[in-house]
Amino acid sequence: MQAKKRYLILLSAGACLVLLFSLGGIQLPAASRSRHDRSRNGYRPDQPWPHFSDPLYPFMPWDQTDTEEYNLHISPRQKRDVNMSVYKGKRCRMDSCFDFSLCQKNGFKVYVYPQQKGEKISESYQNILSTIEGSRFYTSDPGQACLFVLSLDTLDRDQLSPQYVHNLKTKVQNLPLWNDGRNHLIFNLYSGTWPDYTEDLGFDIGQAMLAKASISTENFRPNFDVSIPLFSKEHPRTGGERGYLKYNSIPPFRKYMLVFKGKRYLTGIGSDTRNALYHVHNAEDVVLLTTCKHGKDWQKHKDARCDKDNAEYDKYDYKEMLHNSTFCLVPRGRRLGSFRFLEALQAACVPVMLSNGWELPFSEIIDWNTAAVIGDERLLLQIPTTVRSIHQDKILSLRQQTQFLWEAYFSSVEKIVLTTLEIIQDRVLEHGSRSSLMWNTHPGGLFAVPQYSGYLGDFPFYYATLGMKPYPKFTAVIHAVSPLVSQSQPILKLLVAVAKSQYCAQIIVLWNCDKPLPAKHRWPATSVPVIVIEGENKVMSSRFLPYETIVTDAVLSLDEDTVLSTTEVDFAFTVWQSFPERIVGYPARSHFWDSNKERWGYTSKWTNDYSMVLTGAAIYHRYYHYLYTNYLPTSLKSMVDQLANCEDILMNFLVSAVTKLPPIKVTQKKQYKETMMGQIHVVFMNILYHFAQRQTCMNKFASWFGAMPLVHSQMRLDPVLFKDQVSILRKKYRDIERL
């Protein structure tokens, strides 16, 4: 009898264990899964305990809906299996699936596979490849590459799309450098197809990284993949339109509080949220419009609300709503991402995200809480109350941040691609990666290059944020191209005048003359060090090299024939200390749009308007030497060197593109105009040819930047009015006032 009881007890216990295993109540260590890298949370295989600190999963998983039609196509078990097998390298991280040794010798270089014969590439993907090939990261030698990008179009992996590339699995596996995807980056905008829209790309990506739109937090591999925004084929390759905030007044009151206009999905994935929007719509300050009119057979599925919704939908103009609303709803579509996201950012309409489980674009670097409202699909009815409770000061701050993020990272395909590459470069060169402040404040991570410095105080943009002032001395860099044959030459007079400045720390003479260096005794004796550097290639761009001998924040850039007094130098530097992120100087020029020739024009006419201050007599931060040398493409610098012209225009383009501000012109001596114009006639015997060259340069530069970055200004700073108590210091800059 006792033996029989023991047998029954053992049998019951065994049955319970089998039941627990089958229901998932017990997990073996090897089978445990998490959407986070547990190695960072202290996880070890010998500790199979659950981590209760992990975030809860969404109430409704991203790939499941309760619709009858959807559940007919795929069972719950199949859903789980698809979700777990989307990427075989789901556990990949930089330290496990990336070969850092490829980046150690040549730095972060990117190789694009040559396009294969007969392979069609969409315009959007061609824009991505062209951006990489035109960037400073590009290398045509795979032996120098740290990262590889396919020439096969992987953007649209929806099998029903005409852009879908067939047999991609075989084509990728046959690539000689594929190496199971190691150190490869795959770009993708659309994946999956009706009805489930999974994130499977239709081929094994191996250990490759993904730059993917509409990626879920479930499948996103932190610090390995990059979430990118969904953008249309019309999205510009370079430049892009400016944000809409500049057209609006402050305080930030708009006609509507919350708007949306888009498709209503009657069945299938993504239908639940959009079908519920009519509960919140009030046709006054909350206008949420949907239409059933899309797809070939929408009338087969139309419900009782369709006719009314369609009629209401047609009453409103989408752009008018977008530009006149404070908040814009961004609900999920069939996939997690939506075109509404970028449209809202550009319109300075604060995005209200309703897409549970979406890994927001560039989430690794962008603090979206400063530019968007992150909602929950399950709490749709609370959204109007929530946005109405936000104070107008906070609203203005949110809208300003949307404009910064739009222009810094999203306004063009080029910026989206370069941001993706910069994020990966920061991981590879982790010791020099950018801080969150650099990414989330002006001018953004693309212009704050960590290879220059890891200290914020070395960049001119952060002085105000840090409460700092620039170092109160400057380094003069004089560009010399003529032989020294007389002691009365302008360069020697300029040396003496600059050396007498109370703010001058040192003078560098860049000898770009074909004649040998003059003997040391030929240079005048000065109270500050004079360092003569012989240019290696004797090219114009060498004047903007980041020479290690420049130890001050400020650089006073001078042509050899510039005529400046010590007083003028002192005043210009005093002004620059208040505007360290800008170019401050004397000779001003302007640009204009020539409607007859349909191109940009260049003028040196002395008018009230200017957009450039030439670097023949200007002060700026030394960081711009680094950006000029390392950020601008070789093609632009080669053009400048071949023409021996336009380097000053290119520097103005660069600084204005970074700051979004004009340079600052300071008042000079009355005779300065005649002196400078006389010199121009001597140096450039053919003025028309010289100007034609500069106009060609301007249009070439504007084409590369994607837009005209120069900003017009009418501000001139006069020594009498600039920070002076007129009655006491009236004659502080008396040489400038002298007729």
- Residues classed as catalytic: 648
Note whether 147 and 114 are within 8 A (CB): no
63's CB contacts (< 8 A; 6+ apart) are 79, 82, 83, 196, 197, 198, 216, 269
Note whether 521 and 490 are within 8 A (CB): no
Tell me which residue has tokens 């620039």.
Answer: 470
Specify the 3-state DSSP secondary structure of 265.
coil
Label residue 48 exposed, middle or buried (CB < 10 Å: 0-12, 13-18, 19+): middle
Note whether 209 and 224 are within 8 A (CB): yes
What backbone phi and psi angles, to 5 degrees, belong to 256? -110, 155
* Own/partner long-range contacts of 364-369 (Cβ < 8 Å, ≥24 apart): 364/222, 364/223, 364/226, 364/227, 364/423, 365/419, 365/423, 365/434, 365/436, 365/439, 365/440, 365/445, 366/405, 366/409, 366/439, 366/440, 367/436, 367/440
What backbone phi and psi angles, to 5 degrees, belong to 509? -100, 115
Note whether 564 and 494 are within 8 A (CB): yes
Reported as type and span, the H/E element at residue 397 is helix 392-405
What backbone phi and psi angles, to 5 degrees, belong to 324? -125, 25
CA-to-CA distance for 410 and 241, rounded, in angstroms?
10
Note whether 109 and 146 are within 8 A (CB): yes
725's CB contacts (< 8 A; 6+ apart) are none
Helices then strands, each counted (H, E), the chain: 26, 23
Per-position DSSP letters for 508-529, written without gaps between them: EEEE--SSPPPPGGGSPP-SS-
Note whether 145 and 110 are within 8 A (CB): yes
Residue 443 preceded by cis peptide, ω within 30? yes
CA-to-CA distance for 439 and 450, rounded, in angstroms?
11
Distance of CA 738 to the CA centre of its chain: 48
CA-to-CA distance for 663 and 620, rounded, in angstroms?
10
CA-to-CA distance for 275 and 148, rounded, in angstroms?
43
CA-to-CA distance for 441 and 405, rounded, in angstroms?
9
CA-to-CA distance for 162 and 153, rounded, in angstroms?
12
Extract the runs of DSSP E, i.e. beta strands, from 568-710.
584-585, 588-594, 599-603, 612-613, 617-621, 664-666
Extract the runs of DSSP E, i.e. beta strands, from 14-68.
none
Tell me the helix, strand and coil percentages in the chain, rounded to 5: 40, 15, 50
CA-to-CA distance for 277 and 348, rounded, in angstroms?
22
What are residue 594's DSSP bridge partners? 599
615's CB contacts (< 8 A; 6+ apart) are 543, 557, 583, 585, 647, 648, 651, 652
Specify the 3-state DSSP secondary structure of 589.
strand
CA-to-CA distance for 620 and 650, rounded, in angstroms?
14
Note whether 411 and 346 are within 8 A (CB): yes
33's CB contacts (< 8 A; 6+ apart) are 84
Extract the runs of DSSP E, i.e. beta strands, from 137-220.
147-149, 156-157, 184-188, 190-191, 209-212
